Amino acid sequence: MQAIARLSRFVGNTFAIWVLLFAALAYYSPEHFKWLRQYIVPLLGLIMFGMGLTLSKDDFREVLHRPRDVLIGVLGQFIIMPSLAWLLTAVLDLPPEVAVGVILVGCCPGAARLPMS
C-alpha cells in the first residue's frame, strides 16, 4: 500500500511535467497518438465519473443551500457564454462557418469542449 501511495504522490507532484512532456511528444510526433482518438469519449466519461466519486453529501447540500450561486452559474454558461460568443463573431465579422464553430464552443460546458480543442 505504501508503494501505491508513493507512486500516487510522485505522479501528483510531477503531473505538470508529464502533461508538458506528452503534449510536446504529441505535437512533434502525432502519428504515435492518433490511435487514442477513438478513446477520447470513454476516457472523458471515466474522468467525469472519477470526479463525481469525489463528491460528498455535503457538496450536494451546499448546492441546495446556495441556489443563487447555482443560478448564476447556469445563466453564465447557457446565456452569457453563447451571447458573448455571438457578439465576438459579430464584432470580428467572422465567416459563417467559423462563426458557427465559435458560437457552438460558447454553448458547450468546459469539459465538453475538450475534444473540440
d(CA 43, CA 45): 5
23-57 pLDDT tens trace: 999 999 999 999 998 998 898 889 889 888 888 99
Mean local confidence (pLDDT), 56-62: 91
With a cut of 80, say whether residue 113 has pLDDT above it: no
d(CA 59, CA 55): 6
Per cent of the chain over pLDDT 70 is 93
pLDDT the model gives residue 51: 83
73-90 pLDDT tens trace: 889 888 999 999 999 999
d(CA 51, CA 114): 16
